[in-house]
Amino acid sequence: MASTCDLVLVTGANGMVGRCVRDYVGLANLTTEGRRWVFAGSKEADLRDQAAVDGLFDKHKPTHVLHCAARLASAADMTARPVDFWMDNVQINNNVLRAAHACNAKVVSVLSTVMFSKDAQYPVHGTPEDIFGGQLHDVSQSYGFAKRALAHLSQWYRKQHGCRFSCILPSNIFGPYGAFETKAAPLLNALIAKAEASRKSGTAMSVMGTGSPIRQMLYARDLARILVWALDDFDEDLPLVVAGDEVAVRDLANMACDAVGCTSGLEFDPSCPDGPLRRTADTSRFARLCPDHVSTPLKYAIRETAQWFLKAKSEPLRDDARARDQI
User: Among all residues, which ones are annotated catalytic?
Assistant: 143
Dmax over Cα atoms in the chain, in whole Å?
Answer: 60
Bond before 176 cis per omega within 30 degrees? no
CB-CB contact of 255 with 302 (8 Å): yes
Pairing of strands 240-242, 165-170: parallel
**Identity (one letter) of the amino acid at 208?**
M
Report d(CA 95, CA 103) in Å as an integer: 13
Strand partners, 65: 9, 107
Three-state SS annotation for the chain: CCCCCEEEEEECCCCHHHHHHHHHHHHCCHHHHCEEEEEECCCCCCCCCHHHHHHHHHHHCCCEEEECCCCCCCHHHHHHCHHHHHHHHHHHHHHHHHHHHHCCCEEEEECCHHHCCCCCCCCECCCHHHHHCCCCCCCCHHHHHHHHHHHHHHHHHHHHHCCCEEEEEECEEECCCCCCCCCCCCHHHHHHHHHHHHHHHCCCEEEEECCCCEEEEEEHHHHHHHHHHHHHHCCCCCCEEECCEEEEHHHHHHHHHHHHCCCCCEEEECCCCCCCCECCECCHHHHHHCCCCCCCCHHHHHHHHHHHHHHHHHCCCCHHHCCCCCC
Report d(CA 57, CA 318) in Å as an integer: 26
